[in-house]
Amino acid sequence: MAMRTNRRDENVGRSAASDLASRDLSVASVENAFVEGVYGKIAKGYDFFFGPTLHPGRLTAIQRMGIRPGDRILEVGVGTGINLGLYPKDCTVTGIDFSDAMLEIARERVERKGVLNARLLQMDAADLKFADNSFDIVYAPYLISVVPDPVKVAREMRRVCRPGGRVIILNHFLSPNPFMSRVERWISPATIHIGFKSDLDLPAFLAQAELEPVSIEKVNIPRWWSLVTAIKDEPK
Ligand SMILES: C[S@@+](CC[C@H](N)C(=O)[O-])C[C@H]1O[C@@H](n2cnc3c(N)ncnc32)[C@H](O)[C@@H]1O
């Protein structure tokens, strides 16, 4: 009898895993050109609309990173460089983004604030031009629900992170609350016009990207955003 129950549990577990591995991450889909167009239009207003509201999450992420002197940090989707002044001065930061308009504002900010430990590069997050294992911390704040292929981006993030280093994702994901999730799915085809999908499915994303988080912390007010930390495995 016990044997039968175990087999049944195994089958349920297997079918849940295969559902996570194959289900769509969002009802909405975007292409790079579309995303670039959106950020080209909203770049000038970005800090006003997405600055203060999303800032508690940014501050928590930096506190939890445990940055050590000399750490090499890659910020993926650096945008207007809103995080650049938050990193300790004794680490080095590489910020990448593919939007000219957003990077232009980041460059002005670096100049204005005299940030000396950051470099900015134009690059697609899904095709990072860095060697494997190049960074101690690879961090994507508010990016993963913006890109066309979040799984590809997460795989690239893990590739360029050194073994034992941290892959950190700060983002809004589909709510586990049935009513909220229905609303988020419904509005997602509209929210892409202001730069993100509101219904990215976290469990399916983690399964498909093969990321096993060591922590998931709810951040911001309301606590609708998640700070996901994974550690890249050391080679066996
Ligand atoms: C919501 S903003 C986040 C900006 C910043 N990290 C923050 O904390 O507010 C998303 C950024 O990702 C950039 N982005 C979107 N798709 C990208 C891609 N495929 N490669 C690189 N950057 C991308 C956008 O241009 C934009 O600057």
pLDDT over threshold 70, residue 4: no
Tell me, what's the pLDDT at 9?
66
Cα-to-centroid distance, 1 and ligand 1 (Å): 54
pLDDT at 53: 95
Which ligand 1 atom is at minimum distance from the Cα of 147?
A: 16
Cα(4)–Cα(12) distance, integer angstroms: 12
Q: Which atom of ligand 1 is nearest to the CA of 39?
A: 25
Q: Cα–Cα–Cα angle for 47, 49, 52, nearest 5°?
A: 70
Longest dimension (CA), the chain: 71
pLDDT tens digits, one per residue of 211-228: 999 999 999 999 999 999
Could you tell me which residues are beta bridge partners of residue 96? 76, 121
pTM reported for the whole predicted model? 0.93
> Is the CB–ligand 1 distance for residue 79 below 6 Å?
yes
Distance 82 CA to ligand 1 centre (A): 11
Nearest CA to ligand 1 atom 3: 142
Alpha helices, DSSP H only, in the chain? 2-22, 32-50, 55-65, 100-113, 150-160, 178-191, 202-209
- Is residue 39 lining ligand 1, measured as CB closer than 6 Å? yes
Residue-wise pLDDT tens digits, 76-86: 999 999 999 99
Between CA 60 and CA 155 the distance in angstroms is 24
- 114-161 pLDDT tens trace: 999 999 999 999 999 999 999 999 999 999 999 999 999 999 999 999
The length of the chain is 236
From 36, 80, 87, 146, the mutation candidate for ligand 1 (largest count of ligand atoms within 8 A of CB) is: 146
Quickly state the pLDDT bin for 163 (edges 50, 70, 90).
very high
CB 78 within 8 A of CB 98: no
